[in-house]
Structure 1
Amino acid sequence: MTTIDKAKQLDAMDALRKYANEFYKKEGQIYLDGNSLGLLSKRAEQSVHALLNSWRDYGIDGWTNGEHPWFYLSEKLAALCAPLIGAKCEEVILTGSTTTNLHQLLASFFKPTPARYKILADELNFPSDLYAIASQIALHNLPESSMKLVKSEDGQTIAPAAIVEAMTEDVAVAILPAVLYRSGQVLDLQVITKAAHERGILVGFDLCHSIGAIPHHLHEIGTDFAFWCNYKHLNGGPGSVAGLFVHERHFGTAPGLAGWFGSAKDKQFDLKIEITAAAHTGAYQIGTPHILSLAPIEGALSLFAEVGIEAVREKSLALTQFMMDCIEQEVPNTFTFGNPLDDTRGGHLFLVHEEAARICKTLKDYGVVPDFRAPNGIRLAPVALYNSFEEVWHSVQILKDIIANKTYEKYENKRDIIA
């Protein structure tokens, strides 16, 4: 049975509880939307000030001088990020945005032939990925049917067998999420990668909802490439610079979208007409790095380097399990769990309810910050680094009160501009 005393007991045993003090948490608010935008940490704030001050103190010389020389900052942060996805440092670079990085990767690795010309994705993937895939297909003057979507049987999850079955001989590349953004289902990247390679298919993963929440082993399992944002579970700030991974066996593959920051560092300022691309994943950079948008990531990643992704995952699973137990006990037969009930869930829960939009708005009135996903989903993300079991308990008590008194009825059941 879940009780407030049980929550306090779990908090007392939590080795990560001290890290909540590293974050700016609003008094009287329980923030459960870290899977959309993580909270600001004091370390991220400090690293922003450090990079801003380097501009003040060094001017143009900030590119090569100071504690964090800008010319090498993307590579430095990539080295901090690499352990979170099980990659070698040289296989990672922080650059661009999620969608521009996907465009870069497809431009570099999608080489359609008359026999292999399709890109495999899933119908539950984040739409921006599908937009990018569709536009790449159009750039190759291929028919729209060249994007092949794996269907979902329940509207929430994707069956692993369905993914493998869809890997037909006409598929050149597969683009799939590591964690589904709505339901939080974790896909088995090793199984998918192995199946793809056995069929001559390159495979890339969207890590936006998995990096910083679950461990990865991309180098070991042989994933061809991956891309992600850094502002959700990694707490890198709104619109912070994204990241990409390319397995070392692909080093030397020319970037499809070449730009001067993909140059080898010792050749970059030669400014020759022909590019000398970097010999590692840095080759897939395009333009000058956004230094002030990279800045908070340095402080944010230092927390993960200290804690370790395995410890984050262990607490995350415990928090989400406790929340599910509380919901089943306190508001039984009210919500349907759209997320997996076992350990194949990511860092958030997905509650299905016909009044989801109204409930989300009312939760905010009571100081609980959720996330609505149309048409009827509530995402709740208790984050290992800054949420407690006691916060989970109180948030469910608030949810129980909202349901019992139907206080959500004062709102229209439709989303705001930003859900």
Structure 2
Amino acid sequence: MTSKKQTDKWNREYAKQLDREDPLAGFRDEFYLDENIIYFDGNSLGLLSKPAEKAVHQLMGSWKQNGIDGWTSGENPWYYLAESLGELSAPLVGAEPEEVIITGSTTINLHQLVASFYQPSGRRTKILADELNFPSDIYALQSQLEQKGYDPSTHLIRVKSTDGKTLDEQQIISEMTDEIALIVLPSVLYRSGQVLDIKRLTEAAHSRGIRIGFDLCHSIGAIPHRLNEWEVDFAFWCTYKHLNGGPGSIGGLYVNKRYFGKKPGLAGWFSSNKEKQFDMEHSLSPAANAGAFQIGTPHILSMAPLLGSLHMFAEAGIERIRTKSLKLTDYFLALAKHRLHSYQFTIANPLSRDSRGGHVFLEHEEAVRICKALKEGGVIPDFRSPNGIRLAPVALYNTFEEVWQVVDLLRTIMEEKRYLRFEKKREVIA
């Protein structure tokens, strides 16, 4: 016999009660939300917040009022903005303020860091990555190998996945041979949401004399990190997903302080020591912090939304965000097991809390059509070819009631076969 407490969990009122008890509930009011839409794609593009919008207007006003003097005047002088945003970002990655700089884009920053840290010598000429990584990271690594005269087909080692969804960390470690010069891995796999043990992998790499860096695109703003404590060599990320920095917003990078003073692989105008930058010398004096790994002039208007967004993260706290995120995905998985078990869905993300990122990953042979049916029903999901559905209940603006509604809609779509109305073909952007 099912107890009342167990039965109540599946009711909408239970979800509403969870929302009433949510200490982060107030942050939802800081975002622009369509009351007719449930947005579960924040791991692809986060929503616009009111503080971010205000920060954009403030920096536009600085340009309007000060002209070129905005570089050194106003509330947020542009000349130091990359460092200021780095300081605000540092707690999210567990770094010291001077170890983080906001600059470039994910792939530009990866190129910079590989150009700086990939130093093939003797037998150590290969780069270790994984076969489940996001394509742009692989493109960059292949390109860097070619620039050094190596064939990517032999010198880019990609750890295999046994299930096509997750990676075995012991298998990664076993590939750390004396031929490996550099390792680049994701902190969270973009499809399945698997969280890799950064501490364990870093210790294993360093014990073998290998430098290691991580792509934090799917973890920053959703999961706490301790990059400095774990002695990670470098990391890089975007800011348009969980950090809500806007479409195509600026990237970020971390370099452990033990490399301060190291000349960047790709030098540029803003790699300079700020006190000497306008000496206009043709010999670079690199900044004595992560700023040395900047290249060109900061994209000020692209950085503006982060001023507002990062202050919200400072107020909410990454630990509280992670706690709520896990509760949201716990609830989603429980509802899915209870209400969708008859419809051939596969839960393809790790079930362990330690290994689960900020989104749920369902697989179904009709995934592309189910995603279209979800959109028709007012839910924004994320389709991943060939059969994946990513659903990200974001801690700062999604609710437990929305989780209940999404699972309820999925059940209705399957019961009524609504997905059959749609063509089994993905859109240009998926």
CA deviation vs aligned residue, 1:207-243 (integer Å, no higher than 9, x gap) = 0000000000000000000000000000010011000
Cα distance in 1 between the residues matched to 2:260 and 2:209: 18
Cα distance in 1 between the residues matched to 2:110 and 2:255: 12
Counterpart in 1 of 2:369? Answer: 358
Is 1:138 matched up with 2:149?
no
How far the C-alpha of 1:114 sits from its partner, in A, is: 2.7
Work out which of the residue numbers 399, 402, 405 in structure 1 matches 2:413. 402
Q: How do 1:192-341 residues align onto structure 2 when only pairs under 5 Å count?
A: 192-333=201-342, 334-341=344-351
Counterpart in 2 of 1:23? Answer: 31
Counterpart in 2 of 1:100? Answer: 108
Q: Which moved more, 1:183-192 or 1:404-413?
A: 404-413
How far the C-alpha of 1:291 sits from its partner, in A, is: 0.2
Q: Which moved more, 1:407-416 or 1:16-25?
A: 407-416
Is 1:35 matched up with 2:43?
yes
Counterpart in 2 of 1:128? Answer: 136
Unaligned runs of 5+ in 1: none
Cα distance in 2 between the residues matched to 1:116 and 1:413: 46
Kindly provide the amino acid, as one letter, of the partner of residue 184 in structure 1. Answer: G
How far the C-alpha of 1:2 sits from its partner, in A, is: 2.1
Cα distance in 2 between the residues matched to 1:94 and 1:414: 38
Kindly provide the amino acid, as one letter, of the partner of residue 376 in structure 1. Answer: N
Work out which of the residue numbers 380, 383, 393 in structure 2 matches 1:382. 393
Work out which of the residue numbers 11, 28, 44 in structure 2 matches 1:3. 11
Q: Which moved more, 1:2-11 or 1:13-22?
A: 2-11
Cα distance in 2 between the residues matched to 1:253 and 1:156: 37
Q: How many residues align?
A: 419
Cα distance in 1 between the residues matched to 2:157 and 2:11: 47
How far the C-alpha of 1:411 sits from its partner, in A, is: 1.1
Work out which of the residue numbers 339, 342, 348 in structure 1 matches 2:352. 342
How far the C-alpha of 1:137 sits from its partner, in A, is: 0.4
Q: Which runs of 4+ in 1 moved over 3 A?
A: none
Counterpart in 1 of 2:75? Answer: 67
Counterpart in 2 of 1:87? Answer: 95
Cα distance in 2 between the residues matched to 1:182 and 1:24: 27
Cα distance in 1 between the residues matched to 2:275 and 2:284: 12
Cα distance in 2 between the residues matched to 1:320 and 1:270: 53
Counterpart in 1 of 2:424? Answer: 413
Cα distance in 1 between the residues matched to 2:281 and 2:110: 27
Cα distance in 2 between the residues matched to 1:2 and 1:366: 21
How far the C-alpha of 1:383 sits from its partner, in A, is: 0.3
Cα distance in 1 between the residues matched to 2:19 and 2:10: 13
Cα distance in 2 between the residues matched to 1:292 and 1:188: 35
Cα distance in 2 between the residues matched to 1:24 and 1:98: 26
Cα distance in 1 between the residues matched to 2:285 and 2:148: 26
CA deviation vs aligned residue, 1:132-178 (integer Å, no higher than 9, x gap) = 00000000111221000000000000011111011011001000000
Kindly provide the amino acid, as one letter, of the partner of residue 156 in structure 1. Answer: K
Unaligned runs of 5+ in 2: 1-8
